[in-house]
Structure 1
């Protein structure tokens, strides 16, 4: 089993930060700082470790925020000695961004300049959000400037930082209620040359669609008019969750608005009883029995048993098809039931359905049983 990523964020992180700060601020109490950070450090989750270091920085750097921030920003230019290939290598600067978020709200200009620099080393998508909440118009104005910044990391911050439902972050409820200011920013970024930025634009639209499905349909429909391949990709990626939810508007935008008239047969779910940690093979045949071609989006919905005994569907993308009259195609999916960090399995009956243009047709079920 692979080593947990949090193992890359151990005692060497505060030690690296200490050496960087001491190089530009000799009065820094390096021993005291490291001792305070390491007290209880191993019991904390990743983001909590970042917050813990940020609080210690506040106590050990000068009380004056602009002075403390200047020292911290000067320190990031110093060598840190950590392996740059680490998956969490850039998380070295997580405490720096959290320091700005926690203590910099009363110093807007200095904090914005710091985040412009920090996001090019480690994303400031988390630390920018308190500024959007407390200095909404000023931060939006800064975002409009950054939308044309030479750095793709800064341009991505405009989209990623304004996502209403950004993972690992508090929601931006004012933009959940009225996403108009966010949409104005996305209009500036939808033709960005960097896929890194365009992916963020799509993710932001995906967030907006969870609260405003009809608005998402209107926006993506407009964006598809004479769209470049890059913009068409944004639309497809932005609609992925809506399509999984079977929303008619999203399916129509992508050209799957008509109900699929297909025969489903030769269903096999093998084995019918699966031991936890094993796998199940699901296969079936689709036949277009109509006298005209049909364009079909095919997904698979597996209703996983949850801890409370209820089931919840997870949708897996399968394929898109253009079936000629009378054409038959066989499709299959091998489903792993090994334990994952993102999904815990529970014993019980797991119904399976195929989604044809968003409409479910039951295929059957498999029984998941404990191992041993």
Structure 2
């Protein structure tokens, strides 16, 4: 059985942090910190453990934010290599991130220095968001400079930290209302030599597409002019929400607009239990006189507590010559996920081909 995710933070990580803080600040009350941090820790889940340890930091670090941040910076290990991602071991910094998220707005300049250092060791996209809410102009100025930093972890923070709808992070309502201040940052990073950074740019644009679809489609068209294959990949990934919705303009941008297509499909089995698999199949033929690009999705209307919840699943993406027909399929495991709980009942499925929808069938799920 896999180790519980919450155990990424435990007694070993508390001991490590106590030792690092003592090295940074000789007067650090390590015994008091460890007693506070370890009390009741094992009963908590991962994020709650980070909050609990951050409480212990609040009780044992200086109350002046600049001093506390400087001690935390001094406690950090060497930066990660530019080519190395954030692995599980760096979760020992999660409580540091939580502390910065709480107290960063109390001293913006000191918090920016701490965020700059932390992001080279652990993700800072959560703890920089309160700074963007408190003083957006000052933080955007810093981010514009960081977009030219030699460290890809720092450059990624520029785009990841300004995502308007970052999963598990605070939303940025000011940029949801008006994303204009963020756009120059994305422009500066769109051809970054790190795929890690470019993927973050595409995620930022995908977030924006949920509130400003026309804006993002306009950016996509402009960026595709004379685009490298890397930028094309970025643009297509940034349009993924619109493509799943069957947005005709977004489909046309990636070359899947128009075309005279015939589609038919089926699913099996029609009755299933939790843990079974359901297969969706579709045959698509190009009846037109020109080659066309085709994007095929199965839209499952999952039964939910409140009615139905639609989730699209990609069956295939192909180029079809005139008269050519192709079969695409996908198998879905009927299992509970962290993002989706399954409920018994009839689940209807639609076939979506270049945005055009038709019934594919339905399966009855029993638990």
Report TM bin, short chain: over 0.9
RMSD: 2.0
1:60, CA displacement in angstroms? 0.5
CA contact 2:86–2:123 (8 Å) conserved in 1: no
CA-to-partner distance for each residue in 1:116-136, whole Å, 9 max, x for gaps? 111000011111111111111
Which position in structure 2 is the counterpart of 1:302?
A: 300
Of the candidates 247, 267, 270, which is equivalent to residue 269 of structure 1?
Answer: 267
The answer to whether 1:335 aligns with 2:327 is no
CA 257–68 in structure 1, closer or farther in 2 if over 3 Å, else same: same
Contact 1:191/1:198 (<8 A) preserved: yes
Residue 210 (structure 1) shift = 0.5
Q: How far, CA to CA, are the matches of 1:58 and 1:97 in structure 2?
A: 13
Give SS of 1:156's match. Answer: helix
Tell me if the contact between 1:5 and 1:87 (Cα under 8 Å) persists in the aligned partners.
no
Aligned to 2:88: 88
TM-score normalized with structure 1 length? 0.91
Does residue 341 of structure 2 align to residue 349 of structure 1? no
Equivalents in 1 of 2:257, 2:286: separation in Å?
17
How far residue 57 of structure 1 moved from its aligned partner, in angstroms, is 0.8
Aligned counterpart for 2:360 among listed residues 338, 354, 363: 363
Alignment check: 8 A CA contact 2:263 2:353 kept: no
SS at match of 2:256: coil
* Aligned CA distance change for structure 1 residues 243 and 85 (closer, same or farther; 3 Å): closer
Match of 1:40 in 2: 40
Structure 2: how far apart are the matches of 1:35 and 1:117?
28
CA distance in 2, matches of 1:135, 1:232: 34
Deviation, 1:206, is: 0.4
Asked if the contact 2:255/2:292 (under 8 Å) is kept, the reply is no
C-alpha separation between the residues in 2 aligned to 1:341 and 1:4?
14
* Cα contact 2:217–2:250 (8 A) shared by 1: yes
Q: Answer yes or no: is the 8 Å Cα contact 1:192–1:198 preserved in 2.
A: yes
TM-superposed deviation, 1:165: 0.7
8 Å CA contact 1:203, 1:238 repeated in 2: yes
Identify the match of residue 312 of structure 2 among 310, 315, 318.
315
Aligned partner of 1:281 in structure 2 is: 279
SS at match of 1:105: helix
| TM-score normalised by the chain length of structure 2 | 0.93
The question of whether the paired residues in 2 share the 8 Å contact of 1:5 and 1:88 is answered with: no
Describe the shift of the 1:352–1:248 C-alpha distance in structure 2 as closer, same or farther (beyond 3 A).
Answer: same
- Larger mean Cα displacement after TM superposition, 221-230 or 283-292: 283-292
| Structure 1 gaps, min length 5 | 79-83
CA distance in 1, matches of 2:198, 2:286: 36
The corresponding residue for 2:81 is none
More moved, 55-64 vs 359-368: 55-64
Equivalent residues of 1:262, 1:289 under 8 A apart: yes
SS of corresponding position for 2:125:
coil
Post-superposition shift, 1:219?
0.8
User: Which residues of structure 2 form unaligned runs of 5+?
Assistant: 79-83
The 2-side partners of 1:301 and 1:358 are apart by 11
Give the Cα separation in 2 of the matches to 1:226 and 1:320.
23
**Residues 1:191 and 1:299: Cα distance change in structure 2 (over 3 Å):** same
CA distance in 1, matches of 2:364, 2:279: 13
- Which residue in the other structure is 1:208 paired with? 208
